[in-house]
């Protein structure tokens, strides 16, 4: 699946969150589009998207600035092995500590 991420209006950029870890189908799946601060560094954008797609006090899909792309009522949190595609076209994989461009 090819996912194109667009620049949002104003100060926001939309990034795609792609779950690839723990996949039973061996196919990465885009689970959400997340609005992040356009002026942030790549790392800041990645960290914001990661935080917003992790359930802390509530299901992450209830966080503001998220458009979900999954079927059903719930989805696991973003984890090591998952990826985030920035509007610049750069894709990063979540590692144990930090991010690796892929």
Q: Look at the alpha carbons of 19, 20, 26, 29 in this order and tell me if their dihedral is positive or negative.
A: positive
Q: How far, in Å, CA of 40 to CA of 13, rounded?
A: 10
Asked whether the predicted pLDDT for residue 8 surpasses 60, the reply is no
Instruction: Supply the pLDDT for residue 70.
Output: 85
pLDDT tops 80 at residue 16: yes
Per-residue pLDDT tens digits for 19-51? 998 866 668 999 999 999 999 999 999 999 999
Q: How many CA atoms does the CB half-sphere of 89 hold within 13 Å? A: 0
Compute how many other C-beta atoms are within 10 angstroms of the C-beta atom of residue 77.
14
User: Please, what is the average pLDDT of the chain?
Assistant: 89
Residue 1: the pLDDT is 42
Q: Residue 2's pLDDT is what?
A: 46
Per-residue pLDDT tens over the stretch 71-92: 878 899 999 999 999 999 999 9
């Amino acid at each position: 699946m090819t996912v194109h991420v667009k620049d949002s209006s104003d100060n926001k950029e939309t990034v795609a969150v792609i779950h690839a870890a723990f996949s039973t189908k061996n196919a990465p799946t885009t689970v959400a589009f997340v609005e992040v601060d356009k002026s942030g560094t790549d790392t800041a954008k990645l960290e914001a998207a990661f935080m917003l797609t992790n359930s802390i006090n509530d299901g992450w899909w209830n966080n503001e600035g998220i458009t979900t792309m999954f079927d059903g009522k719930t989805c696991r949190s973003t984890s090591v092995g998952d990826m985030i595609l920035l509007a610049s076209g750069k894709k990063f994989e979540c590692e144990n500590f930090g991010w690796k461009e892929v």
